[in-house]
Chain A
Amino acid sequence: AAGVIQSPRHLIKEKRETATLKCYPIPRHDTVYWYQQGPGQDPQFLISFYEKMQSDKGSIPDRFSAQQFSDYHSELNMSSLELGDSALYFCASSDSPLLPSTDTQYFGPGTRLTVL
Chain B
Amino acid sequence: AQTVTQSQPEMSVQEAETVTLSCTYDTSESNYYLFWYKQPPSRQMILVIRQEAYKQQNATENRFSVNFQKAAKSFSLKISDSQLGDTAMYFCAFMKQMVRAGNMLTFGGGTRLMVKP
Binding site for B on A (CB under 8 A): 30-31, 33, 35, 42-45, 48-51, 55-56, 58, 88, 90, 92, 94, 96-97, 100-101, 103-107, 109-110, 112
Contact = CB atoms under 8 A, between A and B. Distances in A.
Nearest to B45: A107
B106 interface: yes
B102 A48 contact: yes
A96 B91 contact: no
Contacts of A107: 37, 44-47
B105 interface: yes
Main secondary structure of the interface of A (DSSP, over half): strand
Main secondary structure of the interface of B (DSSP, over half): loop
Interface residues of B, number: 25
Interface of B: 33, 35, 37, 42-47, 50, 52, 91, 95, 97, 100-110
A42 B43 contact: no
Contact of A45 (B33, B43, B104, B110): B104
7 shortest interchain CB distances as A-B pairs: A55-B102, A48-B102, A50-B101, A107-B45, A42-B107, A45-B104, A97-B101
A33 B35 CA distance: 16
Contacts of B46: 107
Contacts of A48: 101-104
